[in-house]
Structure 1
Amino acid sequence: MQTVAIDFNFNDTKSSVEAFLERLRRKAPGAALSEDVELDLRSCQFLGPAAVVTLCALKAKADLAARSFRIALPEIPPPLTNYCRYSGLQQFFGLGPGPDGHPGSVTTPVRQFRTRPLSELAEMVSLVRRQMGLSESDEHRLNLTLMELAQNVLDHAESQVGGFLSARSFANEREVRFAVADMGIGFRETLRRTYSVLRDVDAIRLAMTANVTSKSSTHNLGQGLKLLRDIIQAKGGSMFLCSKGAWFELRNGRDNVGVFLNGNEYPGVLAVVTLPVRAPDADEDEDEHGDVWG
């Protein structure tokens, strides 16, 4: 059993994901796929939806391979320990009771899906509606965005564990974060059946192009992830996506594509979306389009 200390904040950003992959690679080579591992999170001060879906997907993958993948959860601070419970992370690893409704309804528990997660996505949209308020038009846009995100994970996964999703509202930052992950074959292996792609970074660039599809699903919109990216950019949000050794990031209205350092790889696909949301002011009407997004 290899013990790996995660003594940093596992936030919903590229730098956090890269730090996590680097720690696994250095402390337990091959840990994500082929060794018995315990992650010591007791010195960690923050876990976000990206951490939750990644850890749960890795455990599901290890369970299928009859490997042990365990975590030691932090005991303080209380907001973090509460999140471990209400996000479903604690229950998924058999470390305590599951969520019974987060006070304030700011977290949707991690959900595992193998088909289109209609009810699970409705739960996420409900979170936003309760916390921030949504017009009908914005609710439709949010549904479309999340469905495209989940569908692309399914289309590119071929994963025996399916996909995992989770969401959290941050009232102080006035934003909502969504994360979806799988432990599948990644974009390159999927797209190379139709396109000439030899590298993960080429595949992730191609996946962000309109009218690119794996043709693996009748639900595929033929937009790759471009539709999702365009909606996020229009709303002033951010997006981080990684597949095996490559990553894409939309931040501050700018796209960046690159490869992980030192040969690190995410063992599947991870997508994280952050959307700023503002509730309508009590003394102000919605704008002419009914928008309440920031």
Structure 2
Amino acid sequence: MSEPYILVRSLGRKCGMAEYAGFLAERLPGKLVGSVTDLPLQRDRAGIVIVQVEVGLYNFDLYEILWEMWAARHRGYLVVADYASEPNECRGWSQEIAKYSILGPKYWELNSVCLPLVRCNPLAEQDAGPPSEIKLGTFGFASPVKKHEEIARLAIRLGVKALIISTVPNPWPGFEEGPHRQVPLDALNEIRQMAELYPDRIELIDSGYLTIPEVQTKLRECTHLVSAMDNLTANWGPSGSLRTMATVGRPLIALNSQRAAEVDATLVTSFDEITLDFLQKNTSAPNIKKIGDGLWAYKNLLRWIETAIFFKRQLINPSGGLLHVSG
């Protein structure tokens, strides 16, 4: 089976989608590209491209997404739209995207092939074990959704230390100068203020860029990992940061949500439930076998497409889009 191309607009930038595309390329395997113009023309045989579709990378413009699908098809590719999430203000976009591609959302919906999130690999290096004193930890790009300030407040209430890895993303050129930057920056500034007030309690890593293995290594310095994210909308995709924390080898405690349940986290309805006694009793890390890993779904889809290409058969798109295999 030939390797597919994986197209992600934020390739090489501080962006969760770029990280995810890297996991996918490593584990399928596949070839990473950052633009539709980087796709080599396919003349003798149809190629396959998996496009990482995150609406923010397309300026919340549906037609920009559809144009990229169209352009990839005209370069000789069958397009798989790896659809990260669909915020409420974009509801219905997925069914338009399905007319130009094979729709692959993270949760099943009509006219789609479900492509659950792929898990990053645990560290290969031996784990020396947690520290003797309780220390909380969390990770993710700065965002009001992550609510990292809640982990800081929890640590202060319990009288323990906390490590917070939170930086401002930079997913597309001009992001740091544009209006989008202010939302994560405001969230990060709130955590910075708390770290300045409680320097003995809050350790904040808020600059530079750590790779996922570096994040996993740093989080091993903690006894417990905590997530304050809750459910957003029914069609919002899984959490990459939760999956990363779930592979560290430490207990993961999270507010009750579908995202957290998928990674075998210990679920609570409120941080009020978390006490020192609670932490001392919760010492089991998520079971790696229970952490959702969608690699099988990608491989099954690629085998189906490759079979259709080999036998020169038309791919049937239930939404009515024209997905033909060229001879």
> TM-score scaled to structure 2, two decimals?
0.26
Structure with a larger share of its residues in strand: 1
> TM-score scaled to structure 1, two decimals?
0.28
Task: State the structure with more CA Rg.
Answer: 2
